[in-house]
Amino acid sequence: MRHASWNMTGRADEPGGPHAKLRNEFDAWAEAGRGEAMEKGHLPTARQALERVPFDAARPETFLDLGCGNGYIVRLAAERLHPAGTAIGLDVSPRMLAEAERATERFITALERTKGRAPSVRFVEGAFEDLPLEPASVDHCYSNEAIYYSPDIDRALAEILRILKPGGTFHCSLDFFEENTYSHDWQDKVGLPMMMDNADGWVTRFRAAGFVDVSSDRLLDPTEVPPIPDEADEEARTRHGMLAAWKREVGTLLVVGRKPTP
Ligand SMILES: C[S@@+](CC[C@H](N)C(=O)[O-])C[C@H]1O[C@@H](n2cnc3c(N)ncnc32)[C@H](O)[C@@H]1O
C-alpha cells in the first residue's frame, strides 16, 4: 500500500499550505474547462452511486456533496430531494464554485418551471477537514473523486461524522485506488499528494473513524472505450488495455458508511 503524504509541518489552511495548493490547482482545472469534462467522465458511475443514496422524498432532507467541482452531483441530488429539502456543494476552489453557481441558476429556473418549486441549493467554499456546517445537520453526504486529495483524511472523516445526523449516510466513490492499475500514475500527472489505498484499506479507515455498516462495491462504466488507433505503440496499447479493464472489470470503488444512532 502506498500512502502519499503532504509532509505537513503546520496547518493545512496556512498560506502556501495544502489548501492553497489545492485551490490553485483546481482553480486552474476550472479555467481550463475541466469541471465540465469531469462531469462527462464521472457521470456514468456517479449516477449509479447516487441511486444508492437512500433519499426519502417524503421528508425535506439535506444533502452535501464534498468536492463538488462544477456542481453536477448537487443538481442531480436536487432532483431527488423533497422541494423543501436542501442540497449543498462544498469545494476548496472558488472558480469551480463559480462555475457550479452559474450552471445551477439555469437548472433551478428550469426545475421551478416544470415542478413549481425546487429545493434550496447552495455552494460553500470550504475544506473537508474543517466543514463550515452545524453538527448533525446533514442527512446524506456524498463525495466523488475527491477525498484522496485531503491533507488529513482521518480528520475529514471525523468532520463528516460530526455534520451527519445520527443514521445519516456517507457514499464515497473513487477511481484512484490500488486495484485500478490505470490510476497508478495519476499522482505524478497531477503533481499533488494523493492517498492511494485498496478497498479493504478504505473500509478499515471508515470503521476506525466511527462509521458503521461499512461496505464497499464496484461500479462499472458501460460507456464505450474508444478503439485504439492502428499506429499506437506498445506503451499506448498497454495503457488502453488498462483503461478498458478499469471501465469494464475493475470499476469505480464505492465505499459506504453510516453514522451510528445513539
Ligand atoms: C477531481 S475533482 C472531482 C469533482 C467532482 N466531484 C466530480 O465528480 O467531477 C476534485 C474536487 O475536490 C476538491 N477538493 C479536493 N480536496 C479538497 C479539500 N481538501 N477540501 C475541499 N475541496 C477539495 C477540488 O477543488 C475539486 O473540485
What is the spatial distance between Cα 255 and Cα 172, in angstroms, rounded to a whole number? Answer: 5
- Indicate which atom in ligand 1 lies nearest the CA of residue 93: 25
Q: How many Å lie between the centroid of ligand 1 and the Cα of residue 36?
A: 13
> Probe ligand 1: pick from 22, 66, 124, 174, max atoms within 8 Å of CB?
22
The helix (H) or strand (E) run that includes residue 145 is none
For 107-211, where are the E strands, in sequence order?
120-125, 138-144, 164-174
CA of 87 to the centre of ligand 1 (A): 17
Per-residue pLDDT for 76 more than 90? yes
Q: Please report the pLDDT score of residue 183 as a whole number.
A: 96
What's the helix, strand, coil split of the chain in %, to 5?
45, 20, 35
pLDDT for 3: 54
Lowest mean pLDDT among 15-24, 42-51, 120-129: 15-24
pLDDT confidence band for 2 (50 / 70 / 90): low
74 lines ligand 1 (CB under 6 A): no
The finding on whether 173 has its CB within 6 A of some atom of ligand 1 is no
User: Has residue 75 got a pLDDT over 50?
Assistant: yes
Tell if the pTM clears 0.85, that is, is over it.
yes
- Distance (Å) from CA 7 to ligand 1 centroid: 20
Residue 38, C-beta contacts closer than 8 angstroms, at least 6 positions apart = 29, 69, 70, 145
- Which atom of ligand 1 is the closest one to the Cα of 39? 9
How large is the average pLDDT for residues 90-104?
Answer: 97
Q: Is the CB of 147 under 6 A from ligand 1?
A: no
In ligand 1, which atom is closest to the CA atom of 12?
Answer: 19
CATH architecture of 18-220+253-258: 3-Layer(aba) Sandwich (3.40)
Half-sphere exposure of 182 (CA within 13 A, CB side): 19
Confidence of residue 1 (pLDDT cuts 50, 70, 90): very low
| Assigned C-alpha cell, 81 | 430531494
